[in-house]
Amino acid sequence: MLHQTRPTSFAKSQIDQLVKEWLKHRQEVLVHYSQLSTVEENHEELLQTFCQILLDYVAAGHFRMFEKLAEFHITSKKTAPLDGNLLKKILITTDVVLEFNEKYTEPKNLEKLSFDLSHLGETLANRMDWEDEFVQLALG
């Protein structure tokens, strides 16, 4: 959830840089997801790395990206309101990510990994679509 803070002024270039860094992190998540979904054996180390990258990505979105975008939107006096439903949808996907992370950070049983990765992939695809919409609204 976004912290209630007093809006501060951010230059468009700062926001653009923040978005660029965040998208780079997103790309890293997708690359590791792809690698993990194609490996058949000895994937425990890759899985742990993926979980850490995934958690970092989600945390950066919640505690840095969305908050700064909302502040920028407010201080820029954009006329179109931000869609609170988008943020709610994104927050719901966080639960799926956290459950996956909890289950596989130190995996004891990998029998359902393929199924769980598939479910996580669908969740991430939806999340990223909603994140893109949120970014466009905030910057629009």
Task: Write the DSSP assignment of the chain as a string of letters.
Answer: -----------HHHHHHHHHHHHHHHHHHHHHHHHHHH--SS-HHHHHHHHHHHHHHHHHIIIIIHHHHHHHHHHTT-SSPP-HHHHHHHHHHHHHHHHHHHHHSS-S--TTHHHHHHHHHHHHHHHHHHHHHHHHHHH-
User: Which tokens hold the place of 93?
Assistant: 């996907």
Q: What is the pLDDT of residue 72?
A: 80
Asked if residue 46 is part of any domain, the answer here is yes
Q: Structure pTM?
A: 0.84
Asked if residue 3 is part of any domain, the answer here is no
Encode the chain (140 residues) as per-residue pLDDT tens digits: 444 444 445 677 888 888 999 999 999 999 999 999 888 776 888 999 999 999 999 999 888 888 888 888 777 776 667 767 888 899 899 999 999 999 998 878 888 999 999 999 999 999 999 999 988 888 87
CATH number, position 126:
1.20.120.1370
Asked if residue 90 is part of any domain, the answer here is yes
Contacts of 127 (CB under 8 A, 6+ apart): 89, 90, 93
Q: How many CA atoms lie within 13 A of 57 on its CB side?
A: 27
Q: How many domains does the chain have?
A: 1
Other beta carbons within 10 Å of 70 = 19
Containing structural domain, residue 35? 12-139
